[in-house]
């Protein structure tokens, strides 16, 4: 089946807006206001030029406003165009851009929204409330590998559809003190879940050289992993993003430093993935969600780097062929039972989206549909 991605998308659907007051209070709006790109920004984040929108009857003063431009929204809407009733899982709620659009389009569907970041969750709650959807959403601060328990606690036994939009949201990157970005001076943090103890500071200041080098290779295919790891250990203690960025940049040979973007980009990506266990928990979480899908329900996954995409492809392929161990040219005799079929959908963002939202350039979309009670292969 080919999904039609031609669904019309309004600006208000496309943008989920949220920001923070100087005291850290999070506020949000779905209003499409004039905005300008942050200079040098490559994450799809926009700084609004107006004041704060009205939220819950109050106005804020001059503060920072953030927008996360939901990636491949028309394609996601098309994949789930047949939703009628039931519970939709947004396993990576973020600014709730995808979720608001889905709830707007499907008035009888309710939402289970999960995010491990309390700031994102508060922002999503405000966005969903101002869109008039608070009556049909359950929001939980949780890591998506606890989805089975969370669903059980919410009395949800099957899902009408599910979405993973992996990685970090634009506001996480662009709030300096979260410590995700080498662009801002900040303490080394990078935790999406700010209650956990493992932070970028712990990784940078306690891992042995070999563990650091392995992590840099595994999570970011860093060619200069060993040199960078040795330089980090020699420069300890390192407590800020800018100091780490300097140490990493100096460790990379000069010709390589001039190629392929910021020299510390891969190191920051690798540490973020490590801190948030992004790759480790993904296969189990995807399998759990596939098990929860009702027959005919779809799972869509958006990834932003090759390591994630390889995992998604492998889990989906295994579910598709039922882990069959028979030679590919022979009929199956091992009793494998397949649980999904693959759905053909656009793999990448459209040219128009790429021109507007650079964050979409690395996005890859994969979709499967649950089949009734598993089918013999």
Ligand X SMILES: C[S@@+](CC[C@H](N)C(=O)[O-])C[C@H]1O[C@@H](n2cnc3c(N)ncnc32)[C@H](O)[C@@H]1O
Among 144, 173, 182, 207, binds ligand X (CB under 6 A): 144
| Window 2 to 21, contacts with ligand X (CB under 6 A) | 16
Q: Which of 77, 78, 89, 120 binds ligand X (CB under 6 A)?
A: 120
User: Rg of the chain's alpha carbons, rounded to an integer?
Assistant: 21
The footprint of ligand X on residues 47-106 (CB under 6 A) is: 68, 70, 92, 94-98
In the complex, least distance from residue 65 CB atom to ligand X, rounded to whole angstroms: 15
Q: Are 336 and 324 in contact (CB under 8 A)?
A: yes
Number of residues that bind ligand X (CB under 6 A): 22
Residue 290 neighbours by CB under 8 Å, 6+ apart: 299, 315, 319, 339, 340, 368, 370
Q: Which residues pair with 365 in a beta bridge?
A: 302
- Give me the 309-338 binding string for ligand X, x by CB under 6 A, dash otherwise: ------------------------------
Least distance between ligand X and beta carbon 172 (Å): 6
Asked, as a colleague might, if the bond just before 237 is cis with ω within 30 of 0, I would say yes
Segment interacting with ligand X, rule: CB under 6 A, options 154-162, 164-172, 223-231, 238-246? 164-172
Q: Which CB atom, from 116 or from 321, has the smaller least distance to ligand X?
A: 116
CA distance 161 to 260: 38
* 357/373 Cα distance (integer angstroms): 39
> Binding string, 272-311, against ligand X, x = CB under 6 A?
----x----x------------------------------
Q: State which of positions 214-253 bind ligand X (CB under 6 A).
A: none
Cβ burial 227-237 (10 Å sphere, 16+ → b, else e): bbbebbbebee
Q: Which of 322, 302, 281, 275 is nearest to 362 (CA)?
A: 302
Q: Pick one of 122, 165, 308, 353: the residue that binds ligand X (CB under 6 A).
A: 165
Pick 159 or 252: Cβ nearer ligand X? 159
Helices (H), the chain: 11-14, 73-79, 97-105, 118-130, 147-153, 170-174, 200-206, 209-220, 225-235, 241-251, 254-257, 265-275, 282-292, 306-321, 351-356
Stretch that binds ligand X, among 114-122, 179-187, 229-237, 246-254 (CB under 6 A): 114-122
Residues near ligand X (CB under 6 A): 16, 68, 70, 92, 94-98, 114-117, 120, 143-144, 165, 167, 169, 192, 276, 281
């Amino acid at each position: 089946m080919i999904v039609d991605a031609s669904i019309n998308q309004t600006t208000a659907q496309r943008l989920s807006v949220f920001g923070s007051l100087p005291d850290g209070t999070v506020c949000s709006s779905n209003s499409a206001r004039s905005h300008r790109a942050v200079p040098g920004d490559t994450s799809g984040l926009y700084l609004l030029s107006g004041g704060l929108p009205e939220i819950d009857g109050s106005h804020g003063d001059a503060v920072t406003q953030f927008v996360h431009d939901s990636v491949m929204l028309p394609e996601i809407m098309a994949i789930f165009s047949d939703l009628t009733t039931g519970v939709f899982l947004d396993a990576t709620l973020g600014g709730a851009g995808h979720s608001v659009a889905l709830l707007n389009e499907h008035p009888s569907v309710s939402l289970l929204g999960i995010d491990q970041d309390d700031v994102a969750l508060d922002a999503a709650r405000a966005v969903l409330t101002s869109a008039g959807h608070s009556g049909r959403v359950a929001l939980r601060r949780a890591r998506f590998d606890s989805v089975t328990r969370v669903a059980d606690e919410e009395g949800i036994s099957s899902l009408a559809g599910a979405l993973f939009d992996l990685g970090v949201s634009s506001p996480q990157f662009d709030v300096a003190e979260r410590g995700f970005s080498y662009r801002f001076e900040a303490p080394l943090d990078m935790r999406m879940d700010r209650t956990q103890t493992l932070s970028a500071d712990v990784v940078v200041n306690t891992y042995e050289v070999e563990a650091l080098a392995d992590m840099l290779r595994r999570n970011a295919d860093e060619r200069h992993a060993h040199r960078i790891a040795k330089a980090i250990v020699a420069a300890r203690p390192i407590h800020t993003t800018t100091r780490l960025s300097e140490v990493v940049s100096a460790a990379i040979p000069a010709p390589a430093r001039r190629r392929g973007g910021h020299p510390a980009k891969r190191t920051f990506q690798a540490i973020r993935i490590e801190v948030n266990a992004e790759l480790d928990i993904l296969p189990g979480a995807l399998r759990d969600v596939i098990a929860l899908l009702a027959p005919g329900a779809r799972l869509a996954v958006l990834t932003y780097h090759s390591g994630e995409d390889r995992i998604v492809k492998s889990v989906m392929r295994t579910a598709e062929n039922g882990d069959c161990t028979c030679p590919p040219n022979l009929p199956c005799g091992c009793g494998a039972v397949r649980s999904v079929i693959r759905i053909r959908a656009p793999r990448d963002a459209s040219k128009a989206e790429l021109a507007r939202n650079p964050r979409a350039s690395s996005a890859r979309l994969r979709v499967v549909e649950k089949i009734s009670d598993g089918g013999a292969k």
